[in-house]
Structure 1
Amino acid sequence: SVVALDAAQPFDYESRRMEQMHKESKLKVGIVGFGNFGQFLAQRIVKQGHAVLAHSRSDYSSLCDEMGVLFFRDVDDFCEEHPDVVLLSTSILSTEAVLRSLPLQRLKRSTLFVDVLSVKEFPKTLFQQVLPAEFDILCTHPMFGPESGRGSWNSLPLVYDKVRVGSGVRDERCQRFLEIFEREGCRMVEMSCAEHDRFAASSQFITHTVGRMLGKLELESTPINTKGYETLLDLVQNTQGDSFDLYYGLFMYNINATEELERLELAFDALKKQLFGKLHNVLRKQLFDVGSAATNH
């Protein structure tokens, strides 16, 4: 029996060490703002075995109980849980007020702050201004939401910028957070916040603008819909599903958006000129043809 006990010891030690490594690889993620998007992210983070805490203005305690998330109404209690990662999942318009209201002194000094906004330069600058220098900053934009990411996240893009991440264990922690998205099959795109906003102005903002313009036309389905028209109807439905505040945020907090709006107007004017120019030529030709025909008679 002594031999058996000795033989079991390395195994016990090994299994304890594996258990310890497993524990260390798990993060404590605190989500601030537990609306639709916060809940959507929390579901996957919990599924991967990480501990999730939540704080929100509204009371989500019963929903959090169902999800396996710890809910804190009191922001001091939330911060005193010392999450490894604080993920801000607030609207663009409320981000600054929420960030400034957090009792940062109650958090661990090396906390990693992450945002998931659809604009990137704004949160980057805000985090750099407000957060103490010893806090890490990771700016991310999951380019999908509760609708488009309802099933698999496979091949859906996650844009990220390691704005300020310490070395060693701090970099490892940042990697572990990004791995949550990698494991779900996301296409990981590392890109500067400035570059993201340039691309987003001509893709995301233009998409939302065109969708909302078409929405104002109150387009309806017809018995003879083409595939192109179906696509437009889908666009209207998708963009109108988002709040106007989100759209306003894409405009207000992306320095490139005004220029894109002007380009859209110029493109529309150029198209009208082209149409009416052609029409003008046709009418003029008809007038002169009629005139010359009358003269010949």
Structure 2
Amino acid sequence: MISISSVNPTAAAAAAATAATSAAVPSIQPQRRQQLLFLSPPQHHHSRRCLTVRAIDAAQPYDYEAQLNQRFTQSTRLRIAIVGFGNFGQFLAKTFIRQGHTVYAFSRSNYSSIAQSMGAVYFSDVHDLCENHPDVILLCTSILSTEQVLKSLPLQRLRRNTLFVDVLSVKEFPKNIFLQVLPTHFDILCTHPMFGPESGKYSWQDLPFVYDKVRIGDEDSRLKRVDNFLDIFKKEGCRMVEMSCSKHDRYAAGSQFITHTMGRILEKLELEDTPINTRGYETLLDLVENTSSDSFDLYYGLFMYNKNAMEQIERLDLAFEALKKELFGHIHEVLRKQLFGKSEEGGAQKPILAKLPKNNNGTPLLPSPSESVSSRGDGGGNGR
């Protein structure tokens, strides 16, 4: 703010002073200049008349420095459009909003009341969402619907440098879809928060967040925008892992897919809680609960859209067959000792046949040495 004090001014001098000062601050609108300028009461001096312009305290609300600080704070805040506002989208939105970012939401189902309760802006029409020019389009759809949803977005209504981000459990698939569908002027960031509403319910501290900067423009503003988005997860204490999409899928097939597979196998066994649960058994029950709470579409997507998953299925099958052979191999040795005792070592002991199971005619039921372990009737995988 600027004030003008005069010594014994006339009305004409006061008007001239106001005009002169207004010309000195041309960047301020006329209405604002009238609010910022005022004349101090006339003071009479016999010697001379003078016009004094003095600056008031620099910490006024409309100071340039204050405006710069405010602009800097606002520049770190993002307008994030979440496309697919289901369970996981809502889970992420809560943290985005808590950190001061603006969240736009769109989904096939109507989540307007949920969005309003958490402070997000819900759009029932994706065209309206895109016309609000979000900084980030975050796809929180299922793996199976990602391509369809991406192709349905009115890209022409977005700013030409909008950042597209996915959070799918597979990475090469969305990367290839983004590169095929999105024009080159859009930025692409592929991510995988390796946690969800259950595992990240209380904290994201030390939970892994994998990301790959697939295509980012070299302008400072676009680089800064990516950093601002990644900072959301850094601030929550995530373990940030920058990794290529192909390497992620290779690792994930050996960890995440196997975990889901074992959980669903155990679910088929219908494990029950017992009064004598061990810690290991409790871990199995937790695994079943965590994996079965996810949709089968997610599990199918992990298998269908990760080329490394089939290899893991084959390795798992081979490992189970090898374990059965080892297990039944020990049984065969026990039966041999019961049948022949020490006779194979040159002793005179007779076979102990009384302890073997009997056929209907009373003769011992002997295993065939040439019988394939995998084809045995007692070698099934039911485990019941």
TM over 0.5: yes
Kindly report structure 1 stretches of 4+ aligned residues shifted beyond 3 Å. 1-5
Partner of 1:255: 307
TM-score, length-normalised on structure 1?
Answer: 0.96
Higher helix share: 1
Give the secondary-structure state (helix, strand or coil) at the position aligned to 1:79.
helix
Quote the Cα distance in structure 2 between the aligned partners of 1:5 and 1:52: 45
Partner of 2:362: none
Deviates more, 1:286-295 or 1:17-26: 286-295
Confirm or deny that 1:75 pairs with 2:126.
yes
Paired with 2:145 and 2:97, the residues of 1 have a C-alpha distance of: 26
Post-superposition offset of 1:5: 6.9
Distance in 1 separating the partners of 2:221 and 2:350: 91
Whole-Å separation in 1 of the counterparts to 2:244 and 2:93? 25
CA RMSD of aligned residues (A): 1.7
Aligned residue in 2 for 1:129: 180
Alignment of 1:1-297 (within 5 A): 2=3, 6-9=55-58, 12-167=63-218, 168-289=220-341, 292-294=348-350
Task: Extract unaligned runs of 5+ from structure 2.
Answer: 5-52, 352-384
Pairwise CA distance, 1:25: 1.5
Q: What is the CA deviation profile of residues 181-206 of structure 1, one whole-angstrom value per residue up to 9, with x for unaligned ones?
A: 11111110000001110110010000
Distance 1:246 1:160 in 2: 20
Look up the equivalent residue of 1:56 and give its one-letter code.
Answer: S
State the distance in 2 between where 1:85 and 1:131 align: 14
Aligned residues: 295
User: Within 1, Cα distance between the matches of 2:267 and 2:115?
Assistant: 36
Counterparts of 2:59 and 2:350 in 1: how far apart (Å)?
A: 110
Shift of 1:2: 4.3
For each residue in 1:258-283, what CA deviation from the matched residue of structure 2 results, as whole angstroms up to 9, or x when unmatched? 00011001000000000111111121
Using the alignment, how far apart are the partners of 1:159 and 1:290 within structure 2? 61
Deviation, 1:64, is: 1.3
Amino acid in structure 2 at the alignment position of 1:138? L
Q: Looking at both structures, which has the greater relative contact order when contacts are Cα pairs under 8 Å and sequence separation is at least 6?
A: 1
For the structure 1 residues 9 and 294, does the alpha-carbon distance in structure 2 shift closer, same or farther, using more than 3 Å as the test? closer
5+ long unaligned stretches in structure 1: none
Query: Is residue 126–residue 153 contact of structure 2 (8 Å, CA) maintained in 1?
Result: yes
Please give the TM-score of this superposition, normalised by the length of structure 2: 0.74
